[in-house]
Chain A
Amino acid sequence: MTTRAATGPGLDITAIRKEFPILSQQINGHPLVYFDNAATTQKPGQVIKALTDYYSGYNANIHRGIHTLAEKATKGFEETRVAAQHFLGAREKEEIIFVRGVTEAINLVARAMGSRLLKKGDEILISGLEHHSNIVPWQMIAEEVGASIQVIPVSENGELDLSALDTLLSRKTKMVTVNHASNSLGTINDIETIIDKAHEVGALVMIDGAQAAAHIDIDVQKLDCDFYCISGHKMYGPTGVGVLYGKREHLEQMPPYMGGGEMIREVTFKKTTYNDIPYKFEAGTPNIADVIALNEAFRFISRISKDSIRRHEAQLLDYAARQLTRLKGVRLVGTAREKVSVQSFLVDGVHPFDVGQLLDARGIAVRTGHHCTQPLMEHFGIEGTVRASFAVYNTQEEIDAMIEGISRIKGFLQ
């Protein structure tokens, strides 16, 4: 990359790019431009190294071993728990549960909390911006107990219409579950207001932080949410690992989600007593390697600082939106005032799949389709969008390459 790329707000983007080995490759004869970060981010060397160090140096099953390797693995695993506690601003490390990702976290809460909390006639409030993973688990439990799903509507620019909260929330509302930021449109939701209003009617609140974790400072105590979850792979960490935060009072009264090893205190054929939190929810051998490497993702983010990441990405987002708008026949989808670095758009007369295919031919990775938010796409009367999402290692030059690619497509197909 050229010098312009390196003149971010205090960040040396050229140096940061060098930390991501995957970025230096050519795709279809062009330098890789990776704009699919909302799906998964790339991984810095320190995360990759943590994985290989673990497997080549101290792979062992954790918690019950007394040998040296088991000690070392357990220490690394539990250190990540403390790091996650600090990353999310949780009061105690016992409030941190390791899961596979946000999808599992939501399923865990819907199942374990939902079965305890919900009864016939109760309501679960979600939003029109939700990913299928924050819709379907709630539909499943709602159907089982006879509860119903209510939806916070979405305005034209892709913001939630919070004026509807007063009519949507009632004593029947037992659970409110919304994302911190939308994966399709990037909208940052005013979760503070949602949490406060939900608590006023006695509902619990779960926040899906999948799209927020790499961009926005999170303080679960300040937010006062009941549950918050993140996925490691969307914040420079490995796949298959995520974190569920829950307030101790809720986690303690929730029944276990899965049975097995680790989650028990004592097992007899007559009765089993369960372990304390967090282990009650961590049945079986966990994803030790990825949990340990997740700590390096926390370290990477804290070294660069979320504030710097956010400022750099905001510049990219603003630049991309302006450049896209200048192209005739390109329409932005999702223009909320507060956004993470996600820009969805449509090219008139060209299907998103075709845009994606042609951009890929030029080495540019974007996502196309409904982004697992079919109800939202239906709301806008579209089948899907092209989505470019930016991370700390992206540059303006890369956006220029995408704009040039789209210009060619327009010239060819329109």
Chain B
Amino acid sequence: MSTDETQREIIDEFSLLDGDREMSVMYLMELGQKLPALTDEHRTDVNLVKGCQSKVWLATTLKNGHVYFSADSNTAVTKGLVSLLIRIFNGHLPQEILGADLFFVKEIGMDRFVGTQRTNGFAAMIDRMKKEAEVLKSNAGVRA
């Protein structure tokens, strides 16, 4: 599934919640709960995403040229937010991640139900993931 297709799927799911703020936050938390646990070795200071008020650890691996992120957070809402990004990005090529336009954020009205502080933190997560993809892309270039 392309990153755009996954985003449209997320938009559809959130549209069922009809803008209900409590339901949206709870749904986000539920998604976070389903995120596979991050092993302790990945909960390092290096893996902490800067710019988030909550703690978010992000680990990146490359399998056959495809990027796989795993993450954890000390707060349920943030874990839900990062789970959305993982769902969109995982299994894609670094350049696909770099080129992805994340239109779902505006479409689901995220700033309305998570607030400015968390929206800023969310931007920091996206930034970090794109930077990781950039590094992997340039590494691949060096190897080629």
Chain A residues within CB distance 8 Å of chain B: 28-29, 350-351, 353-354, 357-358, 360-362, 383, 412-413
**B75 with A351: CB separation less than 8 A:** yes
Interface residue B41 (Cβ < 8 Å from any Cβ of A): no
Whole-angstrom CA separation of A357 from B25 in the bound complex: 8
CB within 8 Å for A412 and B29 given contacts A28-B22, A350-B76, A351-B75: yes
Report if B114 contacts A (CB, 8 A): yes
**B59-95 with Cβ < 8 A to chain A:** 74-78
Chain B interface SS verdict (over half): helix
Pairwise interchain contact A358-B75, C-beta atoms closer than 8 A: no
B117 → chain A closest CB, angstroms: 9
| A361 and B76 in contact, given A412-B29, A413-B29 (Cβ under 8 angstroms) | no
Q: Residues of B within 8 Å of A, CB-based: how many? A: 18
Which 9 residue pairs of A and B lie closest in terms of their CB atoms, listed nearest first? A361-B22, A351-B75, A361-B21, A28-B21, A354-B76, A353-B75, A361-B25, A354-B75, A357-B77
Complex CA–CA separation, A65 to B29 (angstroms): 61
Tell me whether B2 is interfacial, beta carbon within 8 Å: no
**Besides the contacts A353-B54, A357-B25, A361-B113, what 10 more A-B pairs have beta carbons closer than 8 Å?**
A28-B21, A351-B74, A353-B53, A353-B75, A353-B78, A357-B118, A358-B22, A358-B25, A361-B21, A412-B29
Residues of A within 8 A of B26 (CB): 358, 412
Asked whether any CB of chain A lies closer than 8 Å to the CB of B36, the reply is no
| Nearest CB of chain B from residue A371's CB, rounded to whole Å | 14
Q: Which residues from chain A contact B54 at a C-beta distance below 8 Å?
A: 351, 353
**Given the complex of chains A and B, what is the CA–CA distance between A383 and B113 in angstroms?**
24
Residues of chain B within 8 A (CB-CB) of A383 are 74
Q: How far is the CA of A29 from the CA of B18 in the complex (A)?
A: 13
Whether B113 lies near A351 (C-beta < 8 A) is no
Tell whether B115 is near chain A: CB-to-CB under 8 Å: yes
Q: Is the CB of A353 within 8 A of B25?
A: no
A-B pairs with beta carbons under 8 Å apart, 13 shown: A28-B21, A350-B76, A351-B54, A351-B74, A351-B76, A354-B76, A354-B77, A357-B114, A357-B115, A361-B21, A361-B22, A361-B24, A383-B74
Contact with A along B111-143 (1 / 0, CB 8 A): 001110010000000000000000000000000
Complex: how many Å from CA A321 to CA B33? 30
B residues 7-28 near A (Cβ < 8 Å) are 20-22, 24-26
A400–B54 alpha-carbon span in the complex (Å): 29
The answer for the CA separation of A354 and B114 in the assembled complex, in Å, is 10
Chain A residues with CB under 8 A of B113: 361
Closest CB of chain B to A28's CB: distance in Å? 4
Cα A351 to Cα B75 with chains together (Å): 5
Name B54's closest neighbour in chain A (CB-CB).
Answer: A353
Bound Cα distance A358, B75 (Å): 12
Partner of A354, one of B20, B21, B29, B53: B29
CA distance A350 to B74 in the complex (A): 9
B55 to chain A, nearest CB (A): 9
Q: Which residue of B lies closest to A362 (CB)?
A: B22
Asked if B21 contacts A29 (CB within 8 A), the reply is: yes
CB distance from B31 to the nearest CB of A (A): 13
Task: Decide: A353 near B29, CB < 8 A? Known: A28-B21, A361-B22.
Answer: no
Residues of B within 8 A of A361 (CB): 21-22, 24-25, 113
Complex interface: chain B residues within 8 A of A353 (CB):
53-54, 75, 77-78
- In the bound assembly, the distance between CA atoms of A353 and B26 in angstroms comes to 13
Q: Which residues from 36 to 65 on chain B have a C-beta closer than 8 Å to any C-beta of chain A?
A: 53-54
CA–CA, A362 and B21, complex, Å: 8
In the bound assembly, the distance between CA atoms of A361 and B118 in angstroms comes to: 14
In the bound complex, residues from chain A placing their C-beta under 8 Å from that of B25 are 357-358, 361
